[in-house]
């Protein structure tokens, strides 16, 4: 099934690669419930939904695409869901927000079966793509700083340095120091190991306790949250969540595609500039996003952490099958994860470091051309300041074609970008946001 001989690998190598990948990305099982619980979603619901979405997407990748690329709820989109979508747009609740994710997932499935996905990816200017990734990175890093009290609100300047002597801030700083040292030493699973060490320190200092034990049978307090596509579409229309759906869709499409291509290239699985079984690979993410929304989690994405498994020798779906089985096993550690996630100082370093990694995209922006650089800068600046990924994307898509028109370069802009610019302008000017 996995064609191990054809890919010059062995069962042992693939299993070890799967364990490596799992250790580098298992932090999402802790961090995702922390973020989405701020939107009111029950912790146990998000915990199980995160695992279900990860297992569905990663298993599909293993069995149908035969790639060593794991799938799980993406960082950035979860923060956007919790801090920008829920409570806005007419004070919508998380059930309605999951309806938007569900519709985005269905559209993604349809696009993954057609060529429009490729056209859309090619139409979006590269500098806007890099700006969006960097902006999301800055956004989630800021959330990590705010959750631990490292930064706090200020009456005149909006934000200020928090109380660094508070137990939460001190623990977060220690955890951040430990984790960045592990990262600098290129230790596999640095984020996860950093959280473990920070949790041990919290336990020794009396900030963490395990009153409910470590193990429990998995359960979903609210069962299936979204089950009817018609009802979900009605919620999107009623609350005018078009920009939200588009933001989920847009970021997921090019983030997933870019990650898949990068990991496939690293594993030597590309055929020229084409990725074999690309349709099956993209379906893994779109199906996982749809299923995840049904149970209660934000959109999924291919995880760049899969590259660690590839570096360990993973080349086939046996790697991701191993990751899936480990995610299933993690479902029985709900009380442990719940206790750890209750202390934001343990999870915040992961947010800050992932944010810094995403910020690396700024190096690819063409800063020498103002009409290319400013829209990207506007995206990066506005995402954290407005607490909205959608607003950042909208301002970038509006300013980019406008500057190209002024400079007489309107032919360089794909017609789809002009359409998006008009739609985003209408949304900002006339619809709730």
Q: Are 142 and 148 in contact (CB under 8 A)?
A: no
Helix, coil or strand: residue 275: coil
Domain coordinates in residue numbering, the chain: 11-430
Q: How far apart are CA 291 and CA 275, in angstroms?
A: 25
Q: Are 15 and 302 in contact (CB under 8 A)?
A: no
What pLDDT tens digit does each residue of the chain (433 aa) get? 888 888 888 999 999 999 989 988 999 999 999 999 999 999 999 999 999 999 999 999 999 999 999 999 988 889 889 988 887 655 789 999 999 999 999 999 998 888 877 777 778 898 998 898 889 889 889 988 988 889 998 888 888 999 999 999 999 999 999 999 998 998 888 888 999 999 999 999 999 988 777 888 998 999 999 999 999 999 999 988 888 898 898 888 877 887 887 788 878 887 776 778 888 888 999 999 999 999 999 999 998 889 888 888 899 999 999 999 999 999 999 998 888 877 889 988 988 998 888 888 899 999 999 999 999 999 999 989 888 888 889 899 999 999 999 999 999 999 999 998 998 898 788 765 5
For residue 48, give every residue at least 6 positions away whose Cβ sits within 8 Å of its Cβ, in sequence order, or none.
218, 219, 220, 295, 296, 331, 334
Q: Are 358 and 203 in contact (CB under 8 A)?
A: no
Instruction: Mark residue 408 as left, alpha or beta (left: phi above 0; alpha: psi -120 to 50; beta: remaining).
Output: left
Q: How far apart are CA 350 and CA 147, in angstroms?
A: 12
């Amino acid at each position: 099934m996995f064609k191990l001989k054809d890919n010059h690998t062995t069962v042992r190598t693939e299993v070890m690669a799967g364990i490596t990948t799992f250790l580098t990305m298992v932090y999402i099982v802790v961090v995702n419930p922390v973020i989405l619980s701020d939107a009111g979603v029950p912790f146990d619901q998000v915990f199980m939904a995160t695992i279900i979405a990860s297992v569905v997407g990663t298993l599909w990748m293993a069995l149908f695409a035969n790639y060593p690329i794991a799938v799980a709820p993406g960082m950035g989109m979860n923060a956007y869901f919790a801090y920008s979508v829920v409570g806005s747009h007419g004070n919508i609740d998380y059930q309605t927000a999951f309806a938007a994710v569900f519709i985005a997932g269905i559209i993604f499935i349809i696009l993954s079966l057609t060529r429009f996905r490729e056209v859309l990816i090619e139409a979006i200017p590269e500098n806007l793509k890099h700006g969006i990734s960097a902006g999301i990175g800055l956004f989630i890093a800021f959330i990590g700083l705010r959750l631990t009290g490292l930064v706090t609100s200020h009456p005149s300047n909006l934000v200020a340095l928090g109380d660094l002597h508070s137990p939460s801030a001190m623990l977060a700083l220690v955890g951040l120091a430990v984790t960045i040292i592990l990262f600098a030493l290129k230790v596999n699973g640095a984020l996860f190991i950093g959280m473990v060490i920070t949790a041990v320190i919290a336990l020794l200092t009396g900030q963490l306790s395990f009153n409910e034990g470590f193990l429990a049978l998995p359960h979903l307090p609210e069962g299936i949250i979204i089950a009817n596509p018609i009802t979900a579409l009605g919620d999107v229309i009623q609350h005018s969540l078009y920009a939200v759906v588009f933001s989920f869709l847009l970021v997921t499409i090019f983030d997933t595609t870019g990650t898949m291509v990068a990991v496939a290239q690293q594993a030597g699985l590309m055929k020229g500039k084409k990725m074999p079984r690309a349709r099956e690979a993209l379906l893994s993410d779109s199906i996982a996003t749809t299923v995840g929304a049904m149970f209660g989690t934000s959109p999924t994405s291919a995880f760049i952490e899969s590259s660690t498994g590839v570096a360990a020798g993973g080349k086939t779906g046996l790697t991701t099958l191993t990751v899936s089985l480990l995610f299933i096993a993690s479902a029985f550690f709900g009380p442990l994860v719940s206790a750890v996630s209750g202390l934001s100082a343990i999870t915040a370093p992961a947010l800050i470091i992932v944010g810094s990694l995403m910020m690396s995209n700024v190096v690819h922006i063409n800063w020498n051309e103002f009409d290319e650089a400013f829209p990207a800068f506007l995206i990066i600046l506005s995402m954290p300041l407005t607490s909205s990924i959608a607003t950042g994307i909208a301002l970038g898509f509006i300013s980019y074609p406008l500057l190209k028109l002024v400079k007489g370069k309107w032919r360089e802009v794909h017609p789809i970008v002009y359409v998006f610019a008009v739609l985003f302008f209408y949304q900002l000017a006339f619809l709730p946001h």
